[in-house]
Each structure stands twice: as structure tokens, then as C-alpha cells.
């Protein structure tokens, strides 16, 4: 609970952050809301030599409408995403899921980019990004690149963000007036989901699962079935395709897969209301 020594530098802009990343190399970590990184540092599971604090880069905290997209700056706090009228109107699933992360203290501090780039399969927001078909905007020394959410999550706590790069924004296609639901099964309100299901209906439907694989998981067969207008039974039959759920004190593989079916069914019932 007492972190090892580290240096601290503050980035003033995206360009500055990229410069600092290049300067400090692999031993540096970006610090945003700190709600994933700092606990790991306190347990000394992560011991970065340098923290590059990006929280003062004002240009990365925004929510804006851009044609058919809503674009959210990577440093936007969960609380701001949850409260945004734009997000509530065009991406109600994302606004709701942002309000389901941790507890109020976490939501006032944690950032959407920080949550996504941590790549935790048990986190809420990656599932929302997958279900809504978001695109990640990553900046590095060679400029910006875009990558779809389903290609962004690579492995356990590993994303497509490469050394020297920084996630700067998330582009969400609008899902205005479409059905949606987020079902999260927990033992305590503040916990990570034992299993979660993020469901986006409408013209570009998607369903993503929380804590059902080694990485945030897009249920591709189920998403395709929904797109084809399949009956709920057919969706449930494939919802666990390609999942690889962990076993822990809360759940076995069998129980998690059962919960994924139950929660998907409930998500449909809620979304169709």
C-alpha cells in the first residue's frame, strides 16, 4: 500500500505528452484519473520509474457532436460522460454505463480514456465501447491513427496503444432513439461486474460482455444474429461463443456462462421497452 519511488512530470499538451513518453521510454506510465494505476502501484504490482501526469491537458476533456459521431476526449471524467445531455441523447448506453463505474468518488476522478486503455475485461466502459462500435483515436510521434474498439482490446490489460502513444479521443457513432441496456451482476454495488452485458439495438446493434474473457469481449456471433433480426433464443444460443470466462471466488465458468445468458435475456427485455 506504499508505492515504490517514482519521478513525476506534468504534460501540458498532447504533443508534450508524446515528447515525454519518448524521453522516458518504457519505464514511464501516463497518469490520468489514477483509479487503475495507483492501486496497482500501491500494491507494488506496477513500479513505473516516471509518471507523466496528463490530467492538466485541458484539450482532452470534452464531449462534442461531429456529424454522425459523438466524440469524447480521453480525459473526460466518468461523471461528465454520465451527465452529458449530448451523450444521454445519442448514446444513452454509454451515459448509463459511465454512471455504473465504481462509486461516486471513482466516477468523479476516473476518465473514459483511462478506463479503456487499461483494457480490463472486468471493467464497464470497454463493453459499452464495443457494443456501440466506437473507434479509438490514438496519437503518437507519427501523428494520429484510428482503430475500431474490437481491434483495440488485445489481451488481458493490453490494448493496441503502443509505447510512445496516447489515446486521445473516442468516436462513438450515434445511437439516437435506439434500444439499449446494461445488465451488471455484482455482489456489492461498487464492485467490478461478475458478469455484465452491454446491449445496443438499432441500425448498428452490438452486444458485449464484461468479465467473460481475457479481454473486453464483443459477442460477435450474437451481435450478427441481432443484426439479422434473430429471435432471442438464437441470440442466447451463441452469446457464449468464443468466451473464456475466468474462475474465481464469485463464479465458475459454468455459472458465468449461465449469467451471460440470463443477463442477455434481461438486457433484451429492458432494451425493447
Partner 1 sequence: MSLVGARVLRKEDPNLITGNGQFVDDLQPTGCTSMVFVRSTEAHAKIRSIDTAEALALPGVLAVWTSANIAQLANCPGGLPGLDQPLLAKDVVRFVGEGVAVVVATDRYIAADAAELIIVDYEPLPAVASLSAAMAPGAVVLHEVLGGNTVHFQDFENPLDDVFAAAPRTASLHIVNNRCAPTPIEPNVCLADWGRSGLTLWAAFQAPHHLRNTIAQYFGIPQDSTRVVAPDVGGGFGAKINFVPEFFLTALLSKEVGRPVKYTQTRSECLVAMLHGRAQEHDASIAFDNDGRILALKLTVTQDQGAYPNGTGMGLPVLTTAMAAGCYRIPAVAISWRNVVTNTTPVAAYRGAGRPEASYTIERLIDLIADETGVDPVEVRRRNFIPVDAFPYATHSPLAMYDSGNFAGALDELLKYVKYDELKKEQEKRRQDPAAKLLGIGFASWLEIAGFGPPGSLEAFGHLASWESAQVRIQPDGSAIIFTGASPHGQGTVTTYAQIAADELGIDFDRISVKHGDTAVVPQGIGTMGSRAVAVGGEGVKTASGRVYENAKRIAAHLLEASAEDIIIEDEKFFVKGTPARSVPWSEVAWKSFQPLELPGGMEPGALDSTVFQQVPNFSFPSGAYCCVVEIDRETGAVNIVNMYLVDDCGTVINPLLVEGQVHGGVAQGIAQALFEHMLYDPSGVPRTSTLMDYLVPAASDLPGYVTGRTNTPNPSNTLGAKGVGESGSVGAPPAVVNAVVDALSHLGVKHIDMPVTPIKVWNILEGAK
Q: Which chain residues interact with partner 1 by CB under 8 A? A: 1-5, 43-44, 103, 185, 187-192, 194, 249-252, 255, 258-259, 262
At closest approach, how far in Å is the CB of 236 from partner 1? Answer: 12
Closer residue to partner 1 (CB): 88 or 266: 266
CB of 66 to partner 1, least distance (A): 36
In this structure, how many other beta carbons lie within 10 angstroms of the beta carbon of residue 271? 21
Cell digits for 3? 508505492
Q: 59 vs 103, which CB is nearer to partner 1? A: 103
The set of long-range contacts for 237-246, using a CB threshold of 8 Å and a minimum separation of 24, is 239/207, 239/209, 239/264, 240/212, 242/213, 242/217, 243/209, 243/212, 243/213, 243/217, 243/219, 244/212, 244/213, 244/214, 245/195, 245/211, 245/212, 245/213, 246/121, 246/211, 246/214
Cβ nearer to partner 1, comparing 191 with 234: 191
Question: Smaller CB distance to partner 1: residue 76 or 257?
Answer: 257
CB of 255 to partner 1, least distance (A): 5
Q: How far apart are CA 174 and CA 198, in angstroms?
A: 16
Comparing CB distances to partner 1, the nearer of 35 and 175 is 35
Q: 94 and 132 in contact (C-beta within 8 Å)?
A: yes
CA gap 239, 221 in Å, rounded: 7
N-to-C CA span, the chain: 46
- Least CB distance from residue 253 to partner 1, whole Å? 12
Q: How far is the CB of 116 from partner 1 (least distance, A)?
A: 20
Amino acid at each position: 500500500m506504499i508505492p515504490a519511488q517514482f519521478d513525476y512530470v506534468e504534460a501540458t499538451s498532447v504533443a508534450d505528452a508524446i515528447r515525454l513518453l519518448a524521453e522516458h521510454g518504457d519505464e514511464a506510465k501516463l497518469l490520468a484519473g489514477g483509479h487503475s494505476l495507483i492501486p496497482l502501484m500501491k500494491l507494488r504490482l506496477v513500479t513505473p520509474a516516471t509518471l507523466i501526469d496528463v490530467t492538466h491537458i485541458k484539450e482532452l476533456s470534452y464531449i462534442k457532436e461531429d456529424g454522425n459521431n459523438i466524440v469524447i476526449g480521453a480525459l473526460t471524467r466518468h461523471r461528465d460522460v454520465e451527465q452529458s445531455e449530448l451523450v444521454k441523447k445519442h448514446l444513452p448506453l454509454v451515459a448509463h454505463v459511465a454512471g455504473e463505474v465504481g462509486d461516486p468518488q471513482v466516477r468523479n476522478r476516473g476518465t473514459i480514456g483511462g478506463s479503456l486503455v487499461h483494457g480490463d475485461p472486468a471493467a464497464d466502459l470497454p463493453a459499452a465501447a464495443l457494443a456501440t462500435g466506437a473507434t479509438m483515436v490514438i496519437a503518437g510521434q507519427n501523428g494520429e491513427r484510428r482503430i475500431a474498439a474490437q481491434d483495440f482490446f488485445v489481451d488481458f490489460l493490453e490494448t493496441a496503444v503502443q509505447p510512445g502513444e496516447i489515446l486521445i479521443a473516442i468516436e462513438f457513432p450515434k445511437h439516437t432513439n435506439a434500444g439499449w441496456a446494461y445488465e451488471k451482476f455484482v455482489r456489492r454495488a461498487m464492485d467490478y461486474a461478475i458478469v455484465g452485458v452491454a446491449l445496443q439495438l438499432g441500425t448498428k446493434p452490438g452486444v458485449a460482455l464484461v468479465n467473460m474473457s481475457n479481454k473486453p469481449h464483443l459477442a460477435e456471433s450474437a451481435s450478427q444474429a441481432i443484426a439479422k433480426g434473430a429471435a432471442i433464443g438464437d441470440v442466447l444460443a451463441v452469446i457464449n461463443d468464443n468466451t473464456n470466462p475466468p474462475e474465481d471466488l464469485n463464479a465458475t465458468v459454468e455459472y458465468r456462462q449461465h449469467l451471460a445468458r440470463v443477463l442477455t435475456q434481461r438486457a433484451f427485455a429492458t432494451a425493447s421497452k
